[in-house]
Amino acid sequence: MKRHWFTLIMMASFITVQAVQADDELEQNSNPASRLAAQENDIAQITIDPGQTYQTIEGFAASDCWTAHYVGRYWNDDKKELAAKWLFSQNLKSDGSPEGIGLSMWRVNLGAGSMEQGDESGIEDIARRGECFLDNNGNYDWTKQAGQQWFMNRSKEYGCEKLVMFSNSPLVHYTLNGKAYAPSGGNANLQTDKYDDFAEYLATVVQHFTEEGFVISHISPVNEPQWDWEDGGQEGSPWRNDEVKKLVVELDKSFQKKELNTKILITEAGDYSYLYSNTNHRSGNQIQQFFDSQSDNYVGDLPSVAPVIAGHSYWTHGTNAQLRTIRSLVKNKANACNIGIFQTEWSLLGENPGENFPGYDNASYMDIALILARVIHSDLAYTDARSWSYWTAMGQEMWGHKDRFLLLSLAPGSPPGAYNSITQSGQIYDRSTLWALGNYSFFVRPGYQRIK
């Protein structure tokens, strides 16, 4: 039996729904007396229709990039246990409040091997390097990514239902420049004869952790293919649409050979617009490119490919109109190809995050959290997103960013401080962004269906 939900069960979403609907009513009603009455009453009329159903939710997630590796490996047990409880617990405390936000999906970064390269990686920030399970001699070491594996295990023990693995860059053993960031040119940083090797590696990792008892629901083999990733700030690679298809075909072969149930999730577009437009971009118009059977890059008939397009919700919430219009364009294009939508990455980037925002200098932490709540609501209501994921689960609050990029704030060292080395255990704090996401993730469980 389907379990239905509507957004008014969450306070953060209630605020968003009321504000958006009240604004729409005032904009459309030209009668001054009616406008005055609406303003005086400060009420929006809500009509609920359980007979009209929309998407079924697959889960809410956050990413372990990159600090989960360090917290899980180096931090004291009581601190990392607290982090796991806040992220994954579905239990209530004695006063009836949630222990945590009950994430139902957990995104796991499969590093490309820049961590093993050390300073030679060209990635200056150690917290943005990633370990790799395969060495240059073809040997697998499953003790790598130990800190990430600690959180993987705790997520499962807390009842988090699914893991989603993702890759930002091919392995450094296979890249054109021997690095986990790209040379200039905008092509995939992958040797032309290594597509099958990289696909086999990804499939082997999925097979290993499946045999370890984890449910790996999806794997994303590319991430934000529209960006050039040539500055060494983190692991990353650009991809043309035809290169994405080439890798997906090889990955499907490897999955089928190993009889894996995990689905391939594409394309983690850098923002929503690349899913339905920018046809002249090397990796634009991706819904049509990959899921229209008339396209040269069609992969929708491959058995391991999920009938879902994945995109990131960055840069698309400057105005209320933009929140609705862009998401409706994504939904309509996806509906035309009979596929679903996952929102797989968002945090508060950009200088104009929303209407009536007071500016970062004057904003409160709750101002940041309410923008998060508004974006989630919009992705659910206008994009029909089946899954929603935050970037990132934990990090250090540097440069006065007021937790724009994290759910849990880390202060390593003693005395604790945001600018101390992440390899030192320290203090960890829950933030308003955590609980804003929790207003959705704790209450809206996998299998729930949105109603009108």
Q: What CATH number should be reported for the domain holding residue 214?
A: 3.20.20.80
pTM score, whole prediction: 0.91
Tokens matching residue 154: 């705790």
Residue 39 lies in a domain: no
Per-residue pLDDT of the chain (452 residues; tens, 9 = 90+): 445 544 444 433 333 333 333 344 334 444 656 555 556 667 788 899 999 999 999 999 999 999 999 999 999 999 999 999 999 999 999 999 999 999 999 999 999 999 999 999 999 999 999 999 999 999 999 999 999 999 999 999 999 999 999 999 999 999 999 999 999 889 999 999 999 999 999 999 999 999 999 999 999 999 999 999 999 999 999 999 999 999 999 999 999 999 999 999 999 999 999 999 987 789 999 999 999 999 999 999 999 999 999 999 999 999 999 999 999 999 999 999 999 999 999 999 987 788 888 899 999 999 999 999 999 999 999 999 999 999 999 999 999 889 999 999 999 999 999 999 999 999 999 999 999 999 999 999 999 999 99
What lies within 8 Å, CB to CB, of 253 at 6+ separation is: 196, 199
- Quote the domain boundaries for residue 426: 3-19+46-451
Q: What is the strand order of the sheet 305-312 is part of?
A: 59-62, 387-390, 340-345, 305-312, 263-269, 216-220, 162-166, 105-109
How confident is the model at residue 44, as a pLDDT?
A: 82
Tokens matching residue 4: 């239905």
How confident is the model at residue 97, as a pLDDT?
A: 95
How confident is the model at residue 131, as a pLDDT?
A: 97
Distance (Å, rounded) from C-alpha 164 to C-alpha 65? 12
Residue 31 lies in a domain: no
Residue 29 lies in a domain: no
Rg (CA), the chain: 22
Residue 101 lies in a domain: yes
How many distinct structural domains can be found in the chain? Answer: 1
Among candidate residues 192, 195, 198, the one with its CA nearest the CA of residue 176? 192
How confident is the model at residue 279, as a pLDDT?
A: 73
Residue 41 lies in a domain: no
- Tell me the pLDDT tens digit for each residue of 56-79: 999 999 999 999 999 999 999 999
Residue 443 lies in a domain: yes
Residue 381 lies in a domain: yes
How confident is the model at residue 35, as a pLDDT?
A: 57
Q: Assess whether the previous peptide bond of 66 is cis (omega < 30° from 0).
A: yes
- Tell me the pLDDT tens digit for each residue of 361-376: 999 999 999 999 999 9
Residue 34 lies in a domain: no
